[in-house]
Each structure stands twice: as structure tokens, then as C-alpha cells.
Amino acid sequence: MIASYVDQEGEERAFDVACLGDFNALVDEARCSVLLEHENGSSVAFSGGESVAFLVWTDPLGYVYSWQGEREHALACVQTYLETGWPTSEAVRFTHDGSSPD
């Protein structure tokens, strides 16, 4: 899966991420939002602090959903997304933002 972020110089940096450890290392390096893009056309954007995180999921059809809560739950959701391509989790319940794809 491809993970990317924009660095302080405005350059996009992209990496192949295979596991949660790779993702956590990238989040530590980026110190900002990180976007994961799956080959099924979906993506998950992760942004967070030490205890709280924010996720934005765009499904393969282009519909957008968001969630905010405990970082631990967000990382569990990211791990499932890395493994399956779907950000499913018992603790994370995404809310549709109300918009439809173009």
C-alpha cells in the first residue's frame, strides 16, 4: 500500500507501507497527516496527536466518511485497512460527510 505526506518544503513523499510498524514510523517522520492509498481505489487519511486521532476514509466509489477518537482505536483501524483494504473496526464508526462523488 502507498502512504504519502507533504513535507515542510511542500514536496510529496511517498512510501510503500506493509505493516503498522512501517506506518507508525512514517507518522513519526511526517509529524502531520499521512494518506494511505489502496489499489481498490479507496484511501484513509490519518492525523493525530498523542491520544486523539482523526480518520477520513474515501471508499472505492468516492464517498467520504470521517471519525475522531482515541489514537489506539484509529491505529487498530489503520492496521485492518493495511491488511484488508477496508477500515473496519469495532471501535471506529465512520460518519458519512453527506457529499457524493463527482
pLDDT 10s digits, 67-95: 999 999 999 999 999 999 999 888 999 99
The counts of H helices and E strands in the chain are 2, 7
Q: Which of 28-37, 43-52, 69-78 has the lowest mean pLDDT?
A: 28-37
Tell me: pLDDT of 17 over 90: no
pLDDT of residue 86: 94
Place of cell 503498522: 20
Distances in whole angstroms, Cα of residue 90 to Cα of each of 15, 25, 31: 28, 25, 27
Tell me: pLDDT of 57 over 90: yes
Higher pLDDT, 18 or 75: 75
Residue 21's pLDDT band (cuts 50, 70, 90): confident
Q: Residue 6 belongs to what H/E stretch?
A: strand 2-6
Q: How far apart are CA 49 and CA 90, in angstroms?
A: 21
Residue 18's pLDDT band (cuts 50, 70, 90): confident
pLDDT of residue 81: 94
Instruction: Locate the domains of the chain by residue range.
Output: 2-96
Tell me: pLDDT of 63 over 80: yes
